[in-house]
Amino acid sequence: MGTIDDYLAELTTADREAIDRVYAVARQEAPESEQGKGYGMPALVQGGKPLLSVMRAKKHIGIYPFSPDAVAAVADDLEGHPGVSVDKGTIRFQPEHPIPRAVLESLVRARLAQIDGA
């Protein structure tokens, strides 16, 4: 098991399914990514750099792509989506209001472009 698997094992079913869905989309977009850590959080890592972390907080699930620019790239696509809020480097959502797959794909692609361009 890896760091993400260990983290998921501790969650409720609803949270685990919501978080695992985000990671599944990210793995499809970045099949070479590996489980690791980014800033102390369980994360997918691409080329030694943190790609994406998804974690349960007290009142929401947060998606952390380690990049305000990646969040900004999809912020307009999330405007008006129920249960979603966007901040500088975070997308927050509830399990009952998942982030659309196309938005997740765009988010991961934006972060991959940054990693590949660095």
Rg (CA), the chain: 13
Long-range contacts of 72-78 (CB under 8 A, 24+ apart): 73/106, 73/107, 73/110, 74/103, 74/106, 74/107, 74/110, 77/102, 77/103, 77/106, 78/103
What is the residue extent of each domain of the chain? 3-117
Q: What kind of architecture, by CATH, is found in domain 3-117?
A: Alpha-Beta Complex (3.90)
Q: Which two tokens stand for residue 94?
A: 């509830």
Q: Which two tokens stand for residue 63?
A: 């998606």
Tell me the pTM: 0.95
pLDDT-based confidence at 1, cuts 50/70/90? low
Q: What digits encode the pLDDT tens for the residues 58-102? A: 999 999 999 999 999 999 999 999 999 999 999 999 999 999 999
